[in-house]
Amino acid sequence: MTTASDPRHGRLFAALPVQDAPAMARLHERLVDQARREGVLDVAYRTLDTPVGSLLLAATVEGLVKVAFAVQDHDAVLQRLADEVSPRILAAPARLDGVSRQLEEYFAGRRTRFDLPLDWRLSKGFRREVLTHLRDIGYGRTESYAQVAAAAGSPRAVRAVGTACATNPLPVVVPCHRVVRSDGSPGGYAGGPDAKRALLALESAA
Amino acid sequence: MRRPFEQIVAEYGPVVLRVCRAVLGPQDAEDAWSETFVSALKAYPDLPADANVEAWLVTIAHRKAVDVTRAAARRPTPVESLPERAGLAGRPEDWDGDLWRALKALPDRQRQAVAYHYLAGLPYKEIAAMCGGSTDAARRAAADGIRTLRDTYPRFTDQSGVAR
């Protein structure tokens, strides 16, 4: 990063630390706080360790906008949020305190439904209708893709229901894992088949 | 395509802090850094995709540093020496007080040119655009600053082994 041609000039600033982690932590916190107060923290995010791996949680001022599994590549997800929502993105866990608490309760088997403000902007049209309906599938229950299609008023749109579930921007919280194949096998999942099985097992155990 | 701002903070935050510390000293550096990154965050969605992010940040930091310097000039001196100020704004013990004393003694132009060129790696043309004046004047300011530091900052030459 430095173009100093004479190595001696590098020594000039040797007394100034190149990395000062405590100062950066303090400044980052101050930046988040000021950005929030001035209304320019468009997307806040954090990660949360869960039994199905590290979850990326991102929220706008309206509510939770994205949940992503590690297999979805958190960096790639953050880049898509920058492209589709806003690049004003900071790691700012405070906005996700409520989400984190409810998810922890869910994974501990102490919560059967989420009561959170959601920002649906990453899902549109029929997919969004499907996902909205998923919230009616209760904890521990499952429905087939065909049942969900019928409930959404388009019984022939089974494949579109599959796509809606596969592109659910809010997995776990909007329970697309409760939609399974007609033969009872789990079917695909954004977090991978093991994550889907783990969530279904968690809910059937409770 | 713009990267998430968090990545901008992680990648350029440390170098901007070094620049702020070299230009403003330990007490005011963190205020200038904060104002720089809040301004940058606000303007970020409009930054041209091919912009040189580091030069853009240093340019903002430069403007903030000028503001801070002006405010400091208006500030009555006793306020500056209140002990709790240092505790709020930064940790002067973080780095060599001798270096800051030597930098502080330079004319603003020279201190800025030295920091922007040798810490941020900005070419003199960019420094001239930021600070005013010609490219040659920016190059001279940096050279003069370095020459003075060689005399006033003992560690500069001590550690190189050879004094010139």
The CATH number for B82's domain is: 1.10.1740.10
Is residue A9 situated within a structural domain? no
One-letter-per-residue 3-state SS of A86-149: CCCEEECHHHHHHHHHHHHHHHCCCCCCCCCCECCCCCCHHHHHHHHHHCCCCCCCCEEHHHHH
Encode pLDDT of B32-71 as tens digits. 999 999 999 999 999 998 999 999 999 999 999 988 878 8
Question: Percent of chain B at pLDDT above 70?
Answer: 82
By residue range, what is the domain housing residue B138? 96-164
Share the mean pLDDT of chain B: 85
pLDDT over threshold 90, residue B162: no
Domains identified in chain B, total number: 2
Tell which of B95, B120, B138 closes a domain.
B95
> Encoding tokens for residue A150?
């019928």
What is the DSSP-derived secondary structure letter of residue A43? E
Kindly identify which residue of chain B lies nearest to residue A90, measuring between CA atoms. Answer: B6
Both B30 and B81 in one domain: the answer is: yes
In order along chain A (206 residues), what is the average pLDDT of each group of 10 residues? 49 85 96 97 98 97 97 97 98 96 97 96 94 92 94 91 94 96 86 94 88
Å between A14 CA and nearest CA of chain B: 9
Domains identified in chain A, total number: 2
Both B101 and B64 in one domain: the answer is: no
Indicate which of B1, B2, B5 best probes the interface with A, i.e. most A CBs within 10 Å of its own CB. Answer: B5
| Residue B154: count of CB within 10 angstroms of its CB | 12
Chain A residues within 8 A of B30 when measuring between CB atoms: 23, 26-27, 30
Chain A residues within 8 A of B9 when measuring between CB atoms: 28, 31, 90
Q: Is A176 tagged catalytic?
A: yes
Tell which of B64, B95, B126 closes a domain.
B95
Both B76 and B104 in one domain: the answer is: no
Average of per-residue pLDDT across B112-139: 95
Confidence of residue B83 (pLDDT cuts 50, 70, 90): very low
Tell which of B80, B95, B110 closes a domain.
B95
Tell which of A107, A133, A168 closes a domain.
A107
By residue range, what is the domain housing residue A64? 21-107
Both B46 and B9 in one domain: the answer is: yes
Cα A128 from Cα A133, distance rounded (Å): 9
Kindly identify which residue of chain B lies nearest to residue A29, measuring between CA atoms. Answer: B34
Average of per-residue pLDDT across B84-96: 48
Q: List the CATH number of the domain containing A201.
A: 1.10.10.10
* Cβ within 8 Å of residue B105, ≥6 positions away: B148, B152
Both B73 and B14 in one domain: the answer is: yes
Is residue A49 situated within a structural domain? yes
Interface ipTM: 0.91
Cα B121 from Cα B76, distance rounded (Å): 35
Both A29 and A63 in one domain: the answer is: yes
Is residue A58 situated within a structural domain? yes
Chain B residues within 8 A of A19 when measuring between CB atoms: 14
Kindly identify which residue of chain A lies nearest to residue B30, measuring between CA atoms. Answer: A27
